[in-house]
């Protein structure tokens, strides 16, 4: 997995999307079905803290971490009272006490995340990875195979979720697609991608179905105390 690069434009796009898309809301609903209201959750990945925000409605506290100062500052400006936003690296973070649950969204596959799972969570672990590309499918398969070979029980959910990205102009949309697709989108193709919203500030929107996979397992399993990946 490539490292995610935060830019001012990316922060703005995600901020605009947070009020228009139920993407992270629905994922939080799916995760919260496994958790008691008293849970303390650690979350890495998941937009501009949007997953952490929606999780905070279901659990006692959520701690979210990101290594980019701009992203953390943007999230702190709007995070609820029961969400703690930290600047740091999930792969090297050492908490004072273990969390009740760990949620990792597109942080990486088995080799990257399993060595730190036992350092952060004492119970449920949720690993979410995109399935839109072959790389994501491969990472999910490897994680499932690794857990299976170690004798660690797990649940797997494959699902699709709609993501709505609003835009302030067609030029804004062109910049978005250039950033994410690494190519310029011609005017004819752009008009087919965008929907008119009728809103003054965000007159255009792009809707897509994102394919996701979620692996759920217990971090307290003794097999996690030894290297698996």
User: Tens digit of pLDDT for each residue in 109-126?
Assistant: 888 888 888 888 888 999
In this predicted model, what pLDDT tens digit does every residue of 30-60 receive, in sequence order?
999 999 999 999 998 877 889 999 999 999 9
- Examine residue 122 and state whether it is found in any structural domain, yes or no: yes
| Tally of domains within the chain | 1
- Examine residue 184 and state whether it is found in any structural domain, yes or no: no
Give pLDDT, residue 3.
58
Q: What is the DSSP string of 162-223?
A: EEEEEESSHHHHHHHHHHHHSSPPPHHHHHHH-EE---SSS-EEEEEEEEEEEEEEETT-GG
- Examine residue 196 and state whether it is found in any structural domain, yes or no: no
CATH of the domain at 52: 3.40.50.150
- Examine residue 194 and state whether it is found in any structural domain, yes or no: no
- Examine residue 103 and state whether it is found in any structural domain, yes or no: yes
Q: What is the 3-state secondary structure (H, E, C) of 45-80?
A: CCCCCHHHHHHCCCCCEEEEEECCHHHHHHHHCCCC
Per cent of the chain over pLDDT 70 is 97
Residue ranges making up the domain that contains 116: 8-162+210-216
């Amino acid at each position: 997995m490539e490292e995610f690069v935060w830019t001012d434009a990316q922060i703005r796009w995600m901020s605009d999307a947070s009020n228009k898309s139920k993407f992270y809301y629905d994922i939080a609903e799916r995760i919260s079905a496994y958790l008691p209201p008293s849970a303390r959750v650690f979350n890495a990945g998941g937009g501009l803290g949007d997953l952490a925000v929606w999780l905070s409605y279901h659990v006692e506290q959520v701690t979210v971490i990101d290594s980019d100062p701009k992203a953390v500052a943007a999230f702190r400006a709007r995070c609820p009272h029961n969400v703690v936003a930290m600047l740091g690296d999930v792969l090297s973070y050492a908490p004072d006490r273990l969390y009740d649950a760990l949620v990792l969204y597109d942080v990486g596959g088995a080799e990257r995340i399993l060595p730190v799972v036992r350092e952060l969570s004492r119970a449920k672990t949720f690993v979410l990875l995109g399935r839109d590309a072959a790389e994501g499918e491969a990472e999910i398969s490897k994680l499932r195979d690794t857990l299976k070979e170690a004798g660690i029980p797990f649940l797997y959910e494959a699902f699709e979720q709609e993501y709505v990205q609003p835009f302030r102009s067609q030029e804004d949309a062109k910049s978005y697609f250039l950033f994410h697709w690494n190519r310029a989108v011609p005017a004819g193709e752009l008009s087919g991608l965008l929907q008119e919203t009728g809103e003054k500030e965000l007159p255009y929107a792009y809707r897509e179905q994102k394919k996701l996979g979620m692996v759920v397992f217990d971090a307290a399993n003794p097999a996690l105390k030894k290297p698996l990946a």
